[in-house]
Structure 1
Amino acid sequence: MADARNAGGVQSVERVFDLLSIITASGGESSLSELAARAGLPLPTIHRLLRTLVPLGYVRQLPNRSYALGPGLIRLGNAAGLQLGTHAQPVLQELVDELGESANLAVLDGRMVVYVGQAQSSHSMRMFTEVGRRAHMHDTGVGKAILATLPEEQVVSIVTSMGLPTPTEKSLGTVEELLADLERIRERGYAVDDEEQEIGVRCFSVALPQAPTPTAISVSGPTSRVDWEFGERAVPLLQRAAQQLSVQLSRAG
């Protein structure tokens, strides 16, 4: 990872972010030798960088001598998520204005999703989802939209560790059911939470293409208003919004 560089960048900073990315991609834990091999750097260099990151709380050493992401990143991640939600607010509000239902933005947070942005419907019956709430991935529209963009082994790892609770009779309760649903999502280009998290509530969701972190946008509301005809109108608008946000994030990056 260390060979493709921005000519104006600071090498040590680039290497630090390489290490954090490698640990993340490895499922949250990497040994010193694994980090050196994947980063293409000598062990002394890796060790020197880790000696800086560990006291700052951005990396922690586990009892088995491997390294994991540290709690210092949580504060940064929360702040970045809130800023992302603020950045997306005009796009979310436009969806509400066009469709009349609540719109949400969520990102992958470890092995769950966290809602980082929202524009509320003016209807008296609204979704109970709020900014900052974390939720399982297999029974939410945003969660399934994100899962459909991940490798199957990562999907299985997530749901195996978190379990597959079934809050309603329509929730997916097995890995096989989930994988089959994710295949349908990839084929049609959007996810549906069809009363899987809450009876009487339906959600349509689309993942942001090429987002810097796995992200999805959704519209949701009561099934009496959010029916399949609504979905036919909503999906193209969601796809447009997802593309718009993806371009904005790329420019910001």
Structure 2
Amino acid sequence: MAAPVKAEPVFFVLTFLMCIEQPIHWMCYILDNRVEQTLQFVQGLSIEFAVVYLATCLIYWVKGKRAKIAVKALLYMLFWTLMGITLFLALNFEMCISQQTLTVLVETNPKESSEFVDTYMLTNASQLSYLLDFVVLVAIGVCEWKRRAITVFLRRKLNKRFFTWFTSLNAAVGIVLMAVCYVWLLCCCNSAQIYIWRNYFPYDSLDPWSQSLHAINSLRAFDNDVKFAIKQAEKVYETTPVIEDTDSLTVI
């Protein structure tokens, strides 16, 4: 299981670091001796490990040099964009990618969008997020330029047996947790089920990719709530009240 990471260590490490901003802030709970939150921090890291590992596997499995470069570039762009959005939301609003942010995005009209751009796009916090995005982009370019040298260096310095064991164990555990997380999330059809899911997988402890999936599925679940409420209202509207002659105050 460690072969993909051995072949693409630069991509794996850089992508893992781009996704770690959300799970890592839960590390403070370790110092507070909060066991449940600490376990959720470890769980979030495991799921992130699995996400990045599977992305690395995708590059590893692609045949052809040009196809491999294209897939890697697309994945870099995806995770870099998610990182940029996460930083922007965190620095400006202390929020992460969630159903609320998508709802605001969908329901915002052009006038409100222009006001948002004028208000937040050039704040100090936004400029800091842009700077961090640029630094990461440069780091990606430099590391990929020196990828062969970095790969050779890491292979020399890392203990092969420990690296294989560590990577395989984390990948296996992470994939199992990710499968449970994603399948359960996909099965959530209303807000009540989403809230139960959040008790076991707090979305702000997950990586940006998992947060995006949660946000999209939450929109679907909350939309189902609205549709159900509309159907119930229509049934009530179509109901004809019946008043018994014996008791005019009894309404059925």
TM normalised by structure 1 equals 0.21
Considering fraction of residues, name the structure with more helix.
2
TM normalised by structure 2 equals 0.21
- Bigger radius of gyration, 1 or 2? 2
